[in-house]
Structure 1
Amino acid sequence: MPIIQFPKSMKWGTATAAYQVEGAAFEDGRGLSIWDTFSHTPGKVKNGDNGDIACDSYHRYPEDIDLLDQLGANVYRFSVSWPRIYPNGKGELNSVGLQYYHNLVDRLVEKGIEPMLTLYHWDLPQALQDQGGWANRDTVEAFSQYAITIFREFNGKVKYWQTINEPLCAAFLSNYRGVHAPGYQDLQLAVDVSHHLVLAHGKAVRVFRELGIEGQIGTATNTTWREPFSDRIEDIEACRREIGHNIDWFLDPIFKGEYPQYLVEWFKKKGAELHIEDGDMEIIQQPIDFIGVNYYSGNVARYKENAGLLDIENIEIDYNHTYIGWPIYADGFYKVFHYLAERYGNVPLFITENGACCVDELANGKVNDQDRIDYYKQHLTAVSRAIESGIPIIGYLAWSLLDNFEWAEGYGKRFGLVYVDFHSLERIKKESYHWFKEVIANGSIDV
């Protein structure tokens, strides 16, 4: 059986997000977020689920850090809940909420686990949404002030920083497709929000540099792959749009100082114009230390007129699927790495999310999730192929440590290495947890 060995310098760990795991939604001065409002709106989340309790990590974080420690993780990616720090998005600081993150970070450091802190993982304070949310440029300034607070508080404790998680989702899933909070369906709004998110990222990176904060800073980008169904130019361009909508639209401004013109023109054809103010691109084009890569799935696809925003349809080519319905396409992961390297140069890549949703039935106190292990094997093989090809990949974080609130899917879709009983909140290590522990310990996989 072949063995794939990873570099000894490789960072290993897992990732979570505040609203998905913390709970304590109405405790210790936390303000409302748009996800509190959205999840409590009938019909928005499956089964009427919400994040009021989630995994209760706000109270159980020592237990969760012990799980990380036992796993052998050396990096843990988590996000800070903005409304837990500034209940109204700005103004009065909530010191109790801030102390929670100090407790979390201190315990991670004590266990030898490097914190990776994400400033924004979709839980915008509702008070800012009431004033227009990310469509209002004032929110960009509020984010900058929030970022300054977090930078100063955790300088020297946090080694890896991320600004905004998956801006594609925060802009387009949330404001064009309406399936995430705040739930609007307006292309112009989505395009406006997307620019303000990238601008907020740029402002945060700029103040990070100005303040002389220790560590490395990057972003966390949606990535996917679409292989053209044929050599027809229409199919090739449709796949380019899908890949570029995820990657180019949000990274070109950072690395190239401009938005991809082919998408600017496409959105204009669809009825939405990009609005940029003087000085915006200079702010956005701040050097970052790494690109966070989030990858789950890909597909073969072709052009189809009026098939969604990008005129593209997926063609199933006998793929297996995860329980959430996404095709398992590990070769797309490998191609994404090359795409990033070719488009943006030799920038270090940190895989900040990769994982699979599985059925995960608890039987005799165990969860035998071999399908998740198989998914990880395929995708880690793609990672190794990229490293062997000379692409600088510095770390891999599995999504997720825990089963959690899976946004609009509620609690019915599980991604964790650890099973959570959402009634008792008991944590049970899955077989994938034990398998991943061996991967980390040995720095290798058997394939």
Structure 2
Amino acid sequence: MSNVFRLLVLSLLVIGKGDGVYGLVDEYRRDDFPAEFVFGSGTSAYQVEGAALEDGRSYSIWDTYAHSGFCSGANGDIACDGYHKYKEDIELMAETGLEAYRFSISWSRLIPNGRGSVNVKGLQFYNDFINRLIAQGIEPHVTLNHIDLPQILEDEYGGWLSRKSVEDFVAYAEVCFREFGDRVLHWTTFNEANLYALGGYDTASSPPGRCSSPFGYINCTIGDSTYEPYLVGHHFLLAHASTVRLYHEKYKAMQHGFVGLNLLLFWFEPYTNTTEDVKATQRANDFYLGWFLNPLVNGDYPEIMKKNAGKRLPSFTKIESEKVKGSFDFLGINHYTTLYVKDNPKSLETDNRDAYADMAFTYTGIEFPIAEFPLKPMGLVKLLSYLKEEYGNPPIYIHENGQVHARNATLIDTPRVAYLQAYIGAVLVALRNGSNTKGYFQWSFFDLLEMVGGYGYGYGLYYVDLDDKELTRYPKLSAHWYANFLKGNNISDIVISNLKVKGSFSS
């Protein structure tokens, strides 16, 4: 028995002890979840497809951002070459036992000019992709915009800074509903709408990389961090609401699908039990979660946002408020860990404030650069409970949840197995507490191009060898663990005897 194989045995025995160290539930299996609950994994177009200028695709703001050096010098020109390897990739999904797959459509591939003519090659690709998923019994869950607005619209009128983006997005969404809606039931308008606005327009940590001094992670030459994030978030909400209305009025009766919005959500805990830190924690929830969910549920922004941001935060007209309120069939959440909040009132003392200064708190819980997320599964239970109690228990899909790790050929990713075991167990606890959670998607199916770290770290169940011209995919230990769970095994019994160890593990 090789040393790698011995380590694999030892690691699995430790994780499978069922001593409660890693999670909230010692034992569970797929059958403990409702039959209609769906388990899957996901990627996004720019992070996996490659073929950046092939078959009519045009650049998106993510292409431009990456080629400016912001993704640690990496780019998605080739990525995992999912555009060419999607057939074998879907076979891998089926072998893994995925019940659903979350992916995004590249607006630039489907409609290269941002509006107008549909690219036939792009249409063929997504049609075949969806058809092959369904043929394998895998539900397609589609995100319409995963931080990749066509660059041509950014150049023409400033992208999401302009109201024109609302009209163009709705027209793009209608093409997707018309062409794919007979097979796709679950649509998400925006991925991480809150972080999209903050990262893209406050700190420049994501496309299109706008900010103003002294707020950005880079020395920005364009942007205004004091108001642009709020303006863009406002346009996201208007575009989302208009898209939902279009779907419900024109397509819902025929297609019977659902349209939701996705947010990045941490669970926030007070750093101390002082009144100040407790209030700061609620403020953190209002800014991260309430910024979008309050309008969707109640028709307006949280009062603390209106107070701290003042006139920099756009206001809804009565008609807009009525249109936005109730305009979602589900909420998608991306959750990775828990943060600890400490009050920081001094950030409100300056007139030149960005959105983060308006929040008036600091946090701990993640060290940068990120090595691994600490295991805090109870945070997910509390987050789902908070959504249940404060926002009427909406239908929820956990769209992203996973463990980050240095991207290398080490296939025995025991920290990721421990993470999955803990957090899927947390979902089960939340369901037993009455949460209306409908599905769980591990992030990500492959190691991908990531926003800040490029190819330096990954979340994948499968390692992609970038030094191999074939970009060969190799299953990690986590892929085997997830596959065995999806095939019905009790997680406390998923030890070496139950795993199909392929040659890549012991080579």
- TM over 0.5, yes or no? yes
Structure 1 Cα separation of the partners of residues 396 and 185 of structure 2: 15
Of 156, 175, 186, the residue aligned with 1:149 is 175
| Counterpart contact for 2:388–2:435, Cα < 8 Å | yes
Structure 2 Cα separation of the partners of residues 78 and 188 of structure 1: 31
Asked if 1:3 corresponds to 2:27, the answer is yes
Match of 1:194? 233
* TM-superposed deviation, 1:444: 4.8
Match of 1:356? 403
| Counterpart contact for 1:321–1:328, Cα < 8 Å | no
Match of 2:474? 428
Of 105, 108, 127, the residue aligned with 2:152 is 127
Match of 1:236? 278
TM-score (structure 1 length as normaliser): 0.94
Unaligned runs of 5+ in 2: 1-17, 19-25, 212-224, 348-355, 494-507
Mean Cα displacement is larger for which, 371-380 or 216-225?
216-225
Match of 2:496? none
Structure 2 Cα separation of the partners of residues 325 and 13 of structure 1: 22
- Match of 1:292, SS? strand
Q: Which has the higher strand share?
A: 1
Distance 1:306 1:29, change over 3 A: farther
Asked if 1:312 corresponds to 2:361, the answer is yes
Asked if 1:15 corresponds to 2:54, the answer is no
Distance 1:348 1:403, change over 3 A: same
Match of 1:31? 58
Mean Cα displacement is larger for which, 100-109 or 207-216?
207-216
Tell me the amino acid that sits aligned with residue 488 of structure 2.
N
> What percentage of residue pairs aligned between the two structures are identical?
37
| Counterpart contact for 2:195–2:263, Cα < 8 Å | no
Mean Cα displacement is larger for which, 284-293 or 197-206?
284-293
Asked if 1:302 corresponds to 2:342, the answer is yes
Distance 1:10 1:143, change over 3 A: same
- Match of 2:277, SS? helix
* TM-superposed deviation, 1:306: 4.6
- Match of 1:247, SS? helix
Tell me the amino acid that sits aligned with residue 422 of structure 1.
L
Asked if 1:108 corresponds to 2:133, the answer is yes
Pair member with larger Rg: 2
Unaligned runs of 5+ in 1: none
Q: How many residues align?
A: 438
Mean Cα displacement is larger for which, 212-221 or 172-181?
212-221
Match of 1:392? 436
* TM-superposed deviation, 1:320: 9.8
TM-score (structure 2 length as normaliser): 0.83
Pairing of 1:181-260 with structure 2 (within 5 A): 181-185=207-211, 186-213=225-252, 214=255, 215-260=257-302
* TM-superposed deviation, 1:80: 0.4
Mean Cα displacement is larger for which, 353-362 or 324-333?
324-333
* TM-superposed deviation, 1:280: 1.8
Match of 1:177? 203
- Match of 1:442, SS? coil
Mean Cα displacement is larger for which, 375-384 or 227-236?
227-236
| Counterpart contact for 2:177–2:251, Cα < 8 Å | no
Match of 1:446? 492
* TM-superposed deviation, 1:329: 2.0
* TM-superposed deviation, 1:327: 3.7
Asked if 1:40 corresponds to 2:67, the answer is yes
- Match of 1:7, SS? coil
- Match of 1:59, SS? helix
Distance 1:217 1:444, change over 3 A: farther
* TM-superposed deviation, 1:443: 6.7
* TM-superposed deviation, 1:10: 2.1
Structure 1 Cα separation of the partners of residues 226 and 326 of structure 2: 27
